[in-house]
Amino acid sequence: MARQWTMRRITPLRGIWRYAAAFGLVVGATLVAEGVYRLFDTDRLSMVFLAGVLITAVTLGSGPAYFAAATAFVIYDIYLVEPRFEFTMNSAEDYLVLSVFLAVAMLTGRLAGRVREAQGRAEVQARTAGALFRASEEFSSSDNEDAVRQALAQRIAEAGGGEAMVLHDSRSWSWPPGLAIPSALAELAARPASEAAARESGWRLRQLRADGVMVGAAAWRVTPLDDRPTDSPEDDEKLVYVLVDMAGAAIARFRLAAERAEMQARAQTEQLRNALLSSISHDLRTPLAAILASVTSLREFGDRFDAEVREDLTLTIQEEAERLNRFVANLLNMTKLESGALTIEGVSFGVAEVVGRVVQRVQRQAGARKVVSGIRPDDLAAFGDPILTEQALANVVENAVRFVPNGGRIEILGRSVGGKIVLEVVDDGPGVPEADLQMIFDKFFRSAATSASQQGTGLGLSISRGLVEAMGGEVFARPRGDGHSGLVVSVILPGAPS
Amino acid sequence: MSGVLAHLLLVDDEQQILRALKPALAAAGYAVATAETGHEAMAYLAGEACDVVILDLGLPDMDGKEVISRIREWSETPILVLSARDLEHEKIAALDLGADDFINKPFAVGELLARIRAALRGRERRFSTHAVFKSGDLEVNFATRRVALQGYEVRLTPREYDLLKALARYGGRVVTHRQLIAAVWGPAAQVDAQFVRVLVAQLRQKIEEEPSTPRILLTEPGVGYRLTPEDEA
């Protein structure tokens, strides 16, 4: 790969060698003429020399062709024209032969030169297009900015025929890999408009810009070897410029995409924060309003209320204070989960006891709904934090209580499956639409099928999932499979090590 | 109707709020009906006599503001809005739609009762011509344009007097910046709320004992001002 460009085309002869070759061709023509002369004894051999000039012009270009014409004429004159072996320029024929030789050399040389030039240009263009195409493919298939920089270094090295590197933020990508970075160059690369200064050090430099922002610099150097792949350094330079600009555009695209993703994330965070704020505002204020109204009623009219009203108001105060407490606990857990401050101290604990506490805890909220534990004492032991497990399970049951109509039933079942404890909260409520099953554990998700009176904080289930996952377990929901409507939420915890 | 001061309609979808408020309102002498949705409230108002509607803006079936504008299409019944403290724009929108006053949640029952009394008074005032407004030491005589503090006359500029009169006319209910601007500078005036603030500060210098901690001319942050009603100061 690295030396691919040296083989891309047959290296043409250069400079003095072309003239040597022209001389060789003329010598060849002389030898042929000598042979013909000996065989056929004819001295009309100017055609043989003319052929030599023609071949020279076609293969080696104008300069060597003129040289060949002059040489051929001199040899022809000395060798064949009477007096032989003596250079004379006195007959009209001499001048005619020289003129014809020169004319042929000029015309053919020019023609051939043009053809060669056109061929060369087409080749350069094809090569440029190929290089650009490969680069564009490589840039767009890169998955980050640095991959683009690495690809750019390689593409420049190949196009410019030498060594290349891309410098950015005191890091570098080079081709061939592992090039030493001249310290002066690193310094120049960080400065804008330092192209000219870099040129003195033998390196060419071009700023890499993405939407006008400097995102690095490309430096390259033509290899001192004579096996350069092209005759036109200007074309190479243009190609490198285009490559650098393409890389800049690719990086700009990456930045734009990253920016968009960040903006989306920010908007989402903002949305979450707003939802959290309005949830806190509503869920803190409603119980507070009830408590404050009840307390002030009692203080103002306590003596005018009968015992039943007083009992009802104090009950409201207790219930609402409990509700506030639950909400604050959930908020705290949510904050801990989000900040990663939740440390789980795993212990083995009896599941029946935890489930029993949950059942007791939700009893008042449940009202006319039946919440029962189907777990026998000492049946199952899980590994985790019993208090957090209770909170997670209570949130699931409280959610069920909100949706199960009065007189409904919520049952908590448990079994051990392959070393894991599977707890299932089974209700006979309306269930959850299939499409929403995955989302009910998302923060602030409220199913469209939820009526206002059923709306909770949108925190409970997401906290359950957060807590259970923090303990190495998992939570998921499914419809009841036994023909009844209702939801089954499974909480899977690691079993206690035996 | 023996002994009933007024008929109230309490509209809130939170059961616990209804449970907490009903006994106190009843004990204070009001007949209380309750509704949990906007539709229920409108249905009740269409059929029953009601003196004050106490309305929570967050209802399950429709926006509380919508309820206000629907009621105002055919009824002048005073509407007292329950709202969270931080939702100023909600309160202003509710007042613009025709609500008479608001109270921030959470609130003490005494506060709610005072607002209900102010709302009822506001209704009476529309039909009577009280010549004098009293609030504590402050006395405003609309007939003679005399303002007195502890019996001593206070000299007010015409604008200060207009502002005080506008607030006194509402008798304890909140008056929005816009309403005050219309009352003092005229309905078409393009005046910034900042002018109201400056004028209020001037007026407080003259009628408040301690202008930095006003007791008579109270600020409702983000919404407007209210005068402490005559029987509460």
A to B CB pairs, distance under 8 Å: 80
Cβ proximity of A276 and A444 under 8 Å? yes
Average pLDDT, stretch A114-142?
Answer: 84
- Judge whether residue A341 has pLDDT over 80: no
Give the mean model confidence (pLDDT) for residues B124-150. Answer: 77
Whether the Cβ atoms of residue A24 and residue A32 lie closer than 8 Å to each other: no
Report the distance separating Cα A316 and Cα B18, nearest Å. 11
Give me the mean pLDDT over the A264-274 stretch.
Answer: 77
Mean pLDDT of all residues in chain A?
82
Query: In 10 A of CB A179, how many CB atoms?
Result: 17
Identify which has the larger pLDDT, A448 or B172: B172
Judge whether B178 is closer than 8 Å to chain A, CB to CB: no
> Hey, are the CB atoms on A296 and B109 less than 8 Å from each other?
yes
State residue B125's pLDDT score: 61
Helix (H, G, I), strand (E, B) or coil at A370: strand
| β-pair type (B30-35, B6-11) | parallel
pLDDT at residue number B231: 58
pLDDT of residue B2: 52
What is the residue type of A9?
R
Q: Encoding tokens for residue A401?
A: 């209580």
- A103's tokens: 């004319």
Q: What is the pLDDT of residues A211-245, one digit of tens each?
A: 888 888 888 887 654 444 555 667 778 888 888 99
Count of residues making up chain B:
233
* pLDDT of A160 higher than 80: no
How far is it, in rounded angstroms, from Cα A230 to Cα A234?
A: 10
pLDDT of A104 = 80
pLDDT at A492: 94
Does residue A177 carry a pLDDT above 60?
yes
Which stretch of A10-19, A156-165, A284-293, B136-145 has the lowest confidence by average pLDDT?
A10-19
Whole-number pLDDT of residue A19: 87
* CB contact B114 to A (< 8 Å): no
Per-residue pLDDT for A359 more than 60?
yes
Terminal C-alpha separation, chain A: 60
Residues of B in contact with A319 (CB under 8 A): 16
DSSP string, A228-249: -S-S-HHHHHHHHHHHHHHHHH
Start-to-end CA span in chain B (Å): 30
pLDDT reading at B230 higher than 70: no
Contacts of residue A6, Cβ cutoff 8 Å, sequence gap at least 6: A227, A229
The residue among A98 and A404 whose pLDDT is bigger is A404
CB of B110 within 8 Å of a chain A CB? The answer is: yes
Q: How far does A412 lie from chain B, in Å, by closest CA?
A: 28
CB B25 within 8 A of CB B111: no
The partner residue sitting opposite A316, judged by closest CB among B20, B60, B106, is: B20
| Percent residues over pLDDT 70 in chain A | 90
- Please tell me the least confidently modeled range out of A42-46, A131-135, A328-332, A462-466: A42-46
Could you give the CA distance from residue A158 to residue A1 in angstroms, rounded to a whole number? 9
Cβ within 8 Å, pair A285-B105: yes
Give the pLDDT of residue A14: 67
Kindly tell me the sign of the dihedral angle through the C-alpha atoms of A377, A379, A384, A389: negative
Average pLDDT of the residues in A372-390: 86
Give tens-digit pLDDT for B38-87: 999 999 998 888 999 999 988 878 888 899 999 998 888 999 999 876 77
Structure tokens at A468: 């259970």
Instruction: Tell me if residue A285 falls in helix, strand or coil.
Output: helix
Please state the rounded mean pLDDT for residues A392-400.
91
Of residues B224 and A376, more confidently modeled: B224
Give pTM, 2 decimals.
0.57
More confident residue, A123 or A422: A422
Give the alpha-carbon dihedral of B187, B192, B196, B199, to 10 degrees.
-110
**Residue A119 pLDDT grade (very low, low, confident, very high; cuts 50, 70, 90):** confident
Q: DSSP H helical segments within A81-172, as ranges?
A: 92-141, 145-160
Query: Could you say which of B19, B58, B109 has the minimum Cβ distance to residue A312?
Result: B19
**Higher local confidence (pLDDT), A279 or A177:** A177
Cα A419 versus chain centre, distance: 41
The SS3 call for residue B15 is: helix
Q: How close A480 gets to chain B, by Cα (Å)?
A: 29
Residues of B in contact with A281 (CB under 8 A): 84, 86
DSSP state of A447: -
Pairing of β A420-427 and β A474-479? unpaired
Q: Give the pLDDT of residue A10.
A: 44
> How close is the nearest chain A Cα to the Cα of B108, in Å?
5
| Res. B222: pLDDT tops 80 | yes
Mean pLDDT confidence for A320-346: 81
**Averaged pLDDT for residues B117-132:** 71
Residue B21, pLDDT score: 92
Opening angle at CA A274, ends A268 and A278, nearest 5: 150
How far apart, in Å, are the Cα atoms of A427 and each of A394, A478, A488, B82? Answer: 14, 11, 7, 36
